[in-house]
Amino acid sequence: MVRPGAKIFLVAGARPNFMKIAPILDQLRKRAQFRPILIHTGQHYDDVMSRAFFRDLDLLSPDVNLGVGSGSQAQQTGRIMQEFERVVVKRPPDLVMVVGDVNSTVACSLVAAKRHIPVAHVEAGLRSFDRRMPEEINRVLTDAISDYLFTSCSDADENLLREGVPGEKIFFVGNVMIDSLLKFREKSKSSTIMENLSLRRREYVLMTLHRPSNVDEPKILRGILRAVGQIQQRMPVVFPIHPRSRKMLQKFGLEKEIAGVSNLRVIDPMGYIDFLRLMDQARLVLTDSGGIQEETTVLGIPCLTLRENTERPITVREGTNRVVGTDPQRIIRETEAILEGQPVRPRKPKFWDGRAAARIVDILSKTMNFPQAPEKRRRR
C-alpha cells in the first residue's frame, strides 16, 4: 500500500551527502505526515564511496538510483538534471530536499524550481567566497532558488541575508552531519580499524585530500607530499586516498614516489564507521574536506585545513580548525606546533547537538501544505 502524506524527494549523490540525509530520513519516516523517497543520483558509485555508507549508517537502499556516474562538471550536472526530471515528471513530489554543495545538489534543485516544486536546502548559506571552487557555485545557485534554507551556523544566516534572501525563508537548525556523528560515535568504538592498521591512539596523523585545486595541480600536490614526507619522519601519516587523488597521482607519476615513503600509509577510502574511529583517535588531521573540519571540531581533534579559505569559519572561531594553505613550509611548521602543543579545548557550536534533523522536520511539519495529510483530515 502506498503510504499517504507529503511526498518528499530526498536527494543524495556523493559521499558527503549520505551522513547528512540519514538523520533527516530517520525523522521523516517517524512521522505519518511525510512520505520520504530517497533518490541517489549515482554521482558516486564505488562500493567504498557509496554502498559502504548505506551499510554503516543503517540506510535502506535508495528508492531510485539515477546511475549518472562521473564526467566533467557540465556532463555530470546535465545528466543528473535529465534523469532527475524524468522521475519528477513521473511521480511529482511535494518538496525536493537537497543537502550540501555537490553537483547533485544544484542539478536537482534546478529541475525542481523550474517545475515549481518547492526546494529545501540543508546546509544553506555557507560561503568560501571563492568562485573557482565548483562547490561555491553550487551553493550560491542552490540557495538562490530554494524555498527553505536550513542553516548550520549564524554566519550562514548573515551570508544569505546579505544576498537578499528574505529572512522568513531562513531557518537556523544546526548541523545534520553532527547528528550522525553523535549517533554513531559509540558504534565506531567497535571498529577494528586501529588494530588492522596497527595504529596507536594519538600517535598518527590522518590526512585526506581531494579538492581539484590541490590534487589536479601537480605543483601543489607535489608540495603537500613534500611536507608530508617530512611529517612522517616524526609520526606515521595515514592517507585514505580518494579516487580522484589516486588518479591524479598516477597521472603525474607520483605514485611510485610516495610508495617509497616508509611512514606514509596510503590506503583505500573507507566507510563511515572506520573513518570516524580514525578521526577520533588521531593526534591531528590534515585535510581539504569541508565536513571533516566540522567533525574534528566536535571530536576535539586538531585540524589543519590545506586550503586558502574555508566556507566554515565557525570551525576556526569555535572549533579546532586552522586554515593554513598549501605552502609546504607552513604545513610543516603548523604541524610541529600542534605535535608539541597543548591539547585544544573547543567549544561546540550552537545546535551541533544531534537534533538538527528533528528541527528541520518540525519546521516542515508546521509550514508545509499537506493536501492529502490523513492526520489533518481526521482533525477537521
Indicate which residues carry an active-site annotation. Answer: 210
Cβ distance to ligand UD1 smaller for residue 51 or 187: 51
- Considering only residues 178 to 207 of the shown chain, the ones binding ligand UD1 according to CB under 6 A are none
Cβ distance to ligand UD1 smaller for residue 39 or 199: 39
- Considering only residues 158 to 177 of the shown chain, the ones binding ligand UD1 according to CB under 6 A are none
Stretch that binds ligand UD1, among 173-181, 223-231, 238-246, 314-322 (CB under 6 A): 238-246
- The distance of closest approach from Cβ of residue 323 to ligand UD1 in the complex, given in angstroms and rounded to an integer, is 16
Residue 69 pairs in a beta bridge with none
Cβ distance to ligand UD1 smaller for residue 6 or 206: 206
Measured in degrees and rounded to the nearest 5, phi and psi for residue 323 equal -95, 115
- The distance of closest approach from Cβ of residue 272 to ligand UD1 in the complex, given in angstroms and rounded to an integer, is 13
Site mask for ligand UD1 (CB under 6 A), range 244-273, x = bound:
x--x--------------------------
- The distance of closest approach from Cβ of residue 87 to ligand UD1 in the complex, given in angstroms and rounded to an integer, is 19
Three-class DSSP labels, the chain: CCCCCEEEEEEECCHHHHHHHHHHHHHHHHCCCEEEEEEECCCCCCHHHCHHHHHHCCCCCCCEECCCCCCCHHHHHHHHHHHHHHHHHHCCCCEEEEECCCHHHHHHHHHHHHCCCCEEEECCCCCCCCCCCHHHHHHHHHHHCCCEEEECCHHHHHHHHHCCCCHHHEEECCCHHHHHHHHHHHHHCCCCHHHHCCCCCCCCEEEECCCHHHHCCHHHHHHHHHHHHHHHHHCCEEEECCHHHHHHHHHCCCHHHHHCCCCEEEECCCCHHHHHHHHHHCCEEEECCCHHHHHHHHHCCCEEECCCCCCCCHHHHCCCEEECCCCHHHHHHHHHHHHHCCCCCCCCCCCCCCCHHHHHHHHHHHHCCCCCCHHHHHHC
- The distance of closest approach from Cβ of residue 78 to ligand UD1 in the complex, given in angstroms and rounded to an integer, is 13
Site mask for ligand UD1 (CB under 6 A), range 67-96, x = bound:
---x-----x--------------------
Number of residues that bind ligand UD1 (CB under 6 A): 20
Tell whether residue 297 is a contact of ligand UD1 (CB under 6 A): no
- The distance of closest approach from Cβ of residue 50 to ligand UD1 in the complex, given in angstroms and rounded to an integer, is 6
Stretch that binds ligand UD1, among 10-18, 91-99, 164-172, 365-373 (CB under 6 A): 10-18
From candidates 4, 45, 65, 261, binder to ligand UD1 by CB under 6 A: 45
From candidates 4, 118, 218, 243, binder to ligand UD1 by CB under 6 A: 243
Tell whether residue 17 is a contact of ligand UD1 (CB under 6 A): no
- The distance of closest approach from Cβ of residue 329 to ligand UD1 in the complex, given in angstroms and rounded to an integer, is 27
Cβ distance to ligand UD1 smaller for residue 5 or 269: 269
**Torsion on CA atoms 370, 371, 372, 373, rounded to nearest 10:** 30
From candidates 7, 15, 40, 277, binder to ligand UD1 by CB under 6 A: 15
Q: Cβ(10)–Cβ(97) under 8 Å?
A: yes
- The distance of closest approach from Cβ of residue 92 to ligand UD1 in the complex, given in angstroms and rounded to an integer, is 26
- Contact residues toward ligand UD1 (CB under 6 A) are 14-16, 43-46, 49, 70, 76, 101-103, 134-135, 210, 242-244, 247
